């Protein structure tokens, strides 16, 4: 799995593929000096050059008061699937995506990545992959850049603790919404 480095004017975005086709870890290339650092976290041209769908149609922010808060597993059903670029800007989360594409060789497999305020890492979630995360620290904020408008009638999901998936969350999910607890188990 080779990395791909975009670079415009010496500051670029670093793309590292995951085991799910089309899902990428997105790191920043930092330019540091005595003030701190500067980094490009998103560049339309670099995403297109890497073969990724640009993600900015809508931007969302999620604030989570307590560690152990779980949000997920969510996706948009056809024809309103969306790509997401997810980044933790404060605190830390364990971010998980599950491939929901029945024709993909990685169907129902998952990838988990730690995103936090120090690593400045993001996760690129391709269309029709489910997404969720567990907060590892209190006062965690997560930003989402998405490629499509949220369409409530096409929102889907499944249980974060579905035994068919075997997701190993690094800590207990203490705070989960009623909706996220009520999602169905996946039918194989």
Per-domain residue ranges of the chain: 4-182
In which band, very low, low, confident or very high, does the pLDDT at 67 lie, cut at 50, 70 and 90?
A: very high
- Whether the Cβ atoms of residue 140 and residue 86 lie closer than 8 Å to each other: no
Residue in the structure block whose two tokens are 């305020």:
117
In which band, very low, low, confident or very high, does the pLDDT at 1 lie, cut at 50, 70 and 90?
A: very low
Does the active-site annotation cover 107?
no
Determine the pLDDT at residue 117: 97
DSSP string, 96-144: EEEE--TTSTTTT-EEEEEEETTT--EEEE-TTEEEEEEESSSSEEEEE
CATH of 4-182, one of 2.60.120.10, 3.40.605.10, 1.20.1640.10, 3.40.190.10: 2.60.120.10
Determine the pLDDT at residue 8: 41
In this structure, the strands spanning 69-76 and 175-176 are parallel
Which tokens go with 114? 């730690």
Cα 15 from Cα 9, distance rounded (Å)? 17
Residue 54 pLDDT exceeds 50: yes
Determine the pLDDT at residue 66: 98
Q: 8-12, 39-43, 53-57, 157-161: which has the highest mean pLDDT?
A: 157-161
Does the active-site annotation cover 128?
no
Which of 124, 128, 133, 144 is the catalytic position?
A: 144
pLDDT tens digits for 98-147?
999 999 999 999 999 999 999 999 999 999 999 999 999 999 999 999 99
Task: Tell me the CA distances in angstroms from 88 to 28, 50, 143, 147, one per residue in order.
Answer: 13, 22, 6, 18
Residue 69 pLDDT exceeds 90: yes
What's the whole-model pTM score?
0.89
Which of 74, 124, 128, 133 is the catalytic position?
A: 74
Residue 186 pLDDT exceeds 60: yes
């Amino acid at each position: 799995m080779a990395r791909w480095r975009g670079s415009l004017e010496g500051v670029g975005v670093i793309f590292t593929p995951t085991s799910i086709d089309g899902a990428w870890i997105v790191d920043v290339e930092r330019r540091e000096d005595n003030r701190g650092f500067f980094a490009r976290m998103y560049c339309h041209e670099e995403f297109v050059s890497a073969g990724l769908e640009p993600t900015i149609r809508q931007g969302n922010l999620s604030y989570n008061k307590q560690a152990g808060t779980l949000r997920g597993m969510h996706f948009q059903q056809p024809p309103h699937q969306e790509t997401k670029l997810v980044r933790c800007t404060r605190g830390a989360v364990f971010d998980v995506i599950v491939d929901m594409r029945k024709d993909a060789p990685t169907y129902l497999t998952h990838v988990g990545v730690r995103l936090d305020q120090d690593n400045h890492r993001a996760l690129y979630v391709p269309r029709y992959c489910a997404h969720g995360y567990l907060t590892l620290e209190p006062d965690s904020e997560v930003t989402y850049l998405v490629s499509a408008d949220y369409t409530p009638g096409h929102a889907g999901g499944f249980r974060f603790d579905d035994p068919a998936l075997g997701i190993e969350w690094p800590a207990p999910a203490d705070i989960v919404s009623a909706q996220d607890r009520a999602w169905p188990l996946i039918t194989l």
